[in-house]
Amino acid sequence: MSTLFEKIGGQPTIEKVVDSFHQRILADSSISSFFAKTDMNKQRSHQIAFFSQLLDGPKAYQGRPMDKTHTGMSLQEAHFAAIAKHLTDAMTGSGVSAEDAKAAMDRVSKLKGAILNK
């Protein structure tokens, strides 16, 4: 049985999704300010590794845990919802099936408490 990482198209698809995701969040004034001082090239590498690992691909993520990464950002439900929508749209726009995008978002949603520091 293939992993979710393999089902969505592996590394090339993850890279395409992250690039689309970044375009979407940077264009959204409700959340773009959170990334104003972010090195987006570094962020891209971290997110590719993070999403790959989250979807049972290569275990290459070396970043901080989600709660530590998001501490002090005062993220709210609406911010998480906006990010989740952009990530879902980035996946489906990159050719990921609705079913696989939902499965991936189910995994992301399990991190919501850590991301929102609640």
pLDDT digits (tens, 9 = 90+) for 56-86: 999 989 889 999 999 999 999 999 999 999 9
Q: What is the pLDDT of residue 117?
A: 85
Q: Do residues 109 and 77 touch, judged by C-beta distance below 8 A?
A: no
**1 part of a folded domain:** no
Structure tokens at 3: 């992993």
Distance CA 87, CA 82 (A): 9
Write the CB contacts of 11 (distance below 8 Å, at least 6 apart in sequence).
Answer: 48, 52, 57, 58
**59 part of a folded domain:** yes
**3 part of a folded domain:** no
Name the residue range of residue 22's domain: 8-115
**78 part of a folded domain:** yes
- What CATH number does residue 19 fall under? 1.10.490.10
Domain count of the fold of the chain: 1
**29 part of a folded domain:** yes
- What residue ranges of the chain have pLDDT lower than 50? none
